[in-house]
Amino acid sequence: MTATLRPATPDDVPAIFSFSQALSEYEKLAHEMVGTQADLHKGLFGPRPYAEAIVAEVDGNIVASATYFYSFSTFLMKPGVYLEDLFVLPEYRRRGIATDLLKYLAAHALSQGCGRLEWSVLDWNEDAIAFYRRIGAVLMDEWTGCRVSGEALVNLSKDRELNS
């Protein structure tokens, strides 16, 4: 089965949003998903898009998506692509669609002069880890992710205004 890959359009937002919801449930993080379809639409297609997405279609139905954004490496002095979400509907898994999405992103990254493609995976997701290793990904066990969000982000920003 071959999927057709293409950049997402505004009409794809409901499907991508539903994939994000399903991914949050799978990762046991549904309680952290507080964004809306409108937020996703603005992030992907608003006046200042912060991310991009590609979708995979089979027989005209969207069955997978990858959402990504650009980062910058001060070691490479080049941009990179950070894959935020990769989701394939369960009934379409193990058919090469995730590999095709990653190949698409790798080619896209190179076409944009990027020096790397990177993402995170939960340490308990053994199937995903095995898949990523098979395609040549290096797990960076020595790195620990850090995040400031919600009230902690608000508190960190106190008494600091940006001159815009």
Per-residue pLDDT of the chain (164 residues; tens, 9 = 90+): 689 999 999 999 999 999 999 999 999 999 999 999 999 999 999 999 999 999 999 999 999 999 999 999 999 999 999 999 999 999 999 999 999 999 999 999 999 999 999 999 999 999 999 999 999 999 998 998 899 999 999 999 987 776 65
Q: Token digits for 162?
A: 């940006």
| H-only helix segments in the chain | 13-26, 37-45, 97-111, 126-134, 150-157
Tell me whether residue 132 is one of the annotated catalytic residues: yes
**Domain boundaries 4-139, corresponding CATH code:** 3.40.630.30
Write down the pLDDT at residue 122.
92
Q: What single-letter DSSP state applies at residue 150?
A: H
What is the domain partition of the chain in residue ranges? 4-139
Q: Of 50, 92, 104, 132, which one is the catalytic site residue?
A: 132
Listed residue (105, 122, 113, 154) closest to 27, CA to CA:
122
Handedness of CA 26, 50, 11, 107 (dihedral sign): negative
